[in-house]
Structure 1
Amino acid sequence: MTTETAPADNAAARGFAFAFSAYFLWGLLPLLMKALGHIPAVEVVAHRIVWSVPIAGAVLVALGRTADLKAALRSPRTLAMAALTAGFITVNWGLYVWAIAVGRAVETSLGYYINPLVSIAMGAVLLGEKLTRAQIVAVALAAAAVALLTVEAGGLPWVSLVLAFSFACYGFLRKTLPIGPSQGFFLEVLILALPALFYLFWLETTGASHFALAEPGNIALLLACGPATAVPLLLYGFGAKLLRLSTIGLMQYIAPTMIFLIAVFVFDEPFGGVRLAAFALIWAALAIYTWSILAEARRARLADIEPGTT
């Protein structure tokens, strides 16, 4: 029994370390984005893309997983799907960078809090998945929180909603790519690299680029966009393969919680009573959703235990 469970325990421990590192790095990302706040979001995103390519490519070569990528490059359908997922993640990155720069980090944290609930709703609408009672309650509470923020602001909390829906759509479509997470990420940034390079070249020729020798601080920050983008995504991909879905479901709240704390206590963004009430509804929804995940995982484990076994 010990020899059978030891490899599984080691895999779970490695998976936890990978996933935790990814979410922790995502949680710290607002600090880098805030430091880049004086640079237009489109330029920052272009650098995120360009400097992610060599990192993701080096990881693929080191792991010896280039064969799947070569097959994907020969498949028009795979390339089209990768272009679509790349489009969604670009929208997500661009809005996130802009929101941090203009002092709306609290709204970004809300977007990533409600993302799993949006994914549940999308599964019900697009795939006909049946929601449990707990999931229905969780989605309803999230909708109530959005309604509360809408009334308070006089309009929809569009930053939070676009971030949540763009990432949910990315995750939904990403599952259709017939390649692994590291190969898929490299394919996405490879597709985006050409327009990003053209844009950066245009900035350079017009004198509008912030990537200049006269500004070494900007160069260092923009170069850091590569590892800050690629490393967490790659770590997450490795961790997700080794962990149960329920564990990943619990860990996904690490990043938005860190973003929320940084927004309120480091960036000093306003957080009044209405926002507190809305976040309380979201946190209650996530607690119910988490409970449903754990209960479902427990039932699945019990179902796998045959009568008479120990």
Structure 2
Amino acid sequence: MGDLRKGYLLALATFVIWGLFPFYFKALGQFSALEIIAQRAIWSALFGALALLFWRHPGWWRELLAHPRRLAVLTLSGLLIAGNWLIYVWAINNGHIIEASLGYYINPLVNILLGMLVLRERLRPLQWVAVLLAAGGVGLQLMTLGQLPWIALALALSFSVYGLLRKMAPVAALPGLVVETWLLLPIALVWVLLFGSGPSTEPAFWQTPEALWLIAAGPVTLIPLLCFNSAARYLPYSTLGFMQYIAPTLLLVFAVLVFGEAFPADKQMAFFFIWSGLAVYSYDTWRLLRKNRSKP
């Protein structure tokens, strides 16, 4: 019972931190999205290396070198997660928090589709209903706005494909993330040194209090991930799946109530279709779990 309680607290901490990200990125409004992502890669690589000194994963490096294909997959997954970060930060700082939250609501339903198309998994009837409802929500936005909700779709697709690639490269979460940031580090350094023009490219900037906000990108990235990994040891993965909706729900609430983004009726209707799909998906998952538990 104590482990279960610990798991719930760790999972709650994870998703609340992710849900509070808009406040952090709004505090970095003076920096461009590219500058934030470059610094995030640099400081995540540094703090990730330090984290590996405390959370040891014996033999992970030798195992990675013994399977070079995994290194190639981690390179691709690193580029994908960097693109996901870039779109997310740009969306937050340009008044598109609602659409960002929509992306993370769609994400589990995109996972279902990728499982069918790539892993040849068969969809259960209620999963088809969930996917079609989500598609209806996206289609509704296309009709009412005259354009695809590209931010939501890009966030959902990039994160779903990222998860699929990480499944293909079975490396523990922390070492995998650290390797991804190490592989991104040369790109980030080249951008900062040769193409960067923001405040962080000036040596004098690193003597100011504002520099601490960029340095914090390292722990801000790693702490919720470590909480998530710990929670996964104590909770069923399906429980984590249900709790993941805390983060996009907080994004939506903050977007409307704190940052004053418009949430007109047509967007509400699109969200209604997405939420209906998630409700069907959640019910189907709960029913399957209950059926499996009842088996002798």
Band the TM-score falls in, shorter-chain normalisation: over 0.9
Unaligned 5+ runs, structure 1:
1-8
Unaligned 5+ runs, structure 2:
none
Q: 1:210 aligns with which of 200, 212, 220?
A: 200
> Where in structure 2 are the equivalents of 1:50-61 lying within 5 Å?
50-61=42-53
> Where in structure 2 are the equivalents of 1:140-151 lying within 5 Å?
140-151=132-143
**TM-score, normalization by structure 2:** 0.94
Aligned twin of 1:249:
241
What is the CA-CA distance between 1:208 and the residue it aligns to?
A: 3.6
Q: 1:80 aligns with which of 72, 75, 99?
A: 72
> In structure 2, the residue corresponding to 1:192 is in which secondary structure?
helix
Confirm or deny: 8 A CA contact 2:199 2:205 kept in the other structure. no
> Where in structure 2 are the equivalents of 1:13-52 lying within 5 Å?
13-52=5-44
What is the CA-CA distance between 1:209 and the residue it aligns to?
A: 3.5
What is the CA-CA distance between 1:12 and the residue it aligns to?
A: 2.6
Q: Which moved more, 1:189-198 or 1:60-69?
A: 60-69
> In structure 1, the residue corresponding to 2:141 is in which secondary structure?
helix
> Where in structure 2 are the equivalents of 1:81-160 lying within 5 Å?
81-160=73-152
> In structure 1, the residue corresponding to 2:241 is in which secondary structure?
helix
Distance in 1 separating the partners of 2:131 and 2:80: 23
> In structure 2, the residue corresponding to 1:210 is in which secondary structure?
helix
Aligned twin of 1:4:
none
AA in 1 matched with 2:128: I
Give CA deviations for 1:239-288 in whole Å, capped at 9, x if unaligned: 22332122011111010000111111111011100001111111111111
What is the CA-CA distance between 1:73 and the residue it aligns to?
A: 4.2
Confirm or deny: 8 A CA contact 1:37 1:102 kept in the other structure. no
Give CA deviations for 1:48-84 in whole Å, capped at 9, x if unaligned: 1111123222222212215213431454212101101
Confirm or deny: 8 A CA contact 1:200 1:209 kept in the other structure. no
Confirm or deny: 8 A CA contact 2:205 2:211 kept in the other structure. no
Bigger radius of gyration among the two: 1
Identity over the aligned pairs, expressed in percent? 38
Q: CA RMSD in A?
A: 1.7
Task: From the superposition, tell whether residues 126 and 59 of structure 1 become closer, same or farther in structure 2 (CA, over 3 Å).
Answer: same
AA in 2 matched with 1:174: R
Distance in 1 separating the partners of 2:284 and 2:217: 37
Q: 2:191 aligns with which of 195, 199, 214?
A: 199
> In structure 1, the residue corresponding to 2:261 is in which secondary structure?
coil
Confirm or deny: 8 A CA contact 2:104 2:248 kept in the other structure. yes
Aligned twin of 1:302:
294
AA in 1 matched with 2:200: H
Distance in 1 separating the partners of 2:120 and 2:231: 29
Confirm or deny: 8 A CA contact 2:31 2:199 kept in the other structure. no
Aligned twin of 2:178:
186
What is the CA-CA distance between 1:162 and the residue it aligns to?
A: 0.5
Aligned twin of 2:211:
219
Confirm or deny: 8 A CA contact 1:37 1:100 kept in the other structure. no
AA in 2 matched with 1:13: R
AA in 2 matched with 1:199: W
Confirm or deny: 8 A CA contact 1:15 1:241 kept in the other structure. yes
Distance in 2 separating the partners of 1:119 and 1:47: 29
Distance in 2 separating the partners of 1:238 and 1:211: 36
Distance in 1 separating the partners of 2:63 and 2:124: 39
Give CA deviations for 1:164-200 in whole Å, capped at 9, x if unaligned: 0000000111112232111111111111112112222
Distance in 2 separating the partners of 1:240 and 1:69: 23
Confirm or deny: 8 A CA contact 2:44 2:222 kept in the other structure. yes
**TM-score, normalization by structure 1:** 0.90
AA in 2 matched with 1:93: W
Distance in 2 separating the partners of 1:193 and 1:132: 42
Confirm or deny: 8 A CA contact 1:108 1:159 kept in the other structure. yes
Aligned twin of 1:269:
261
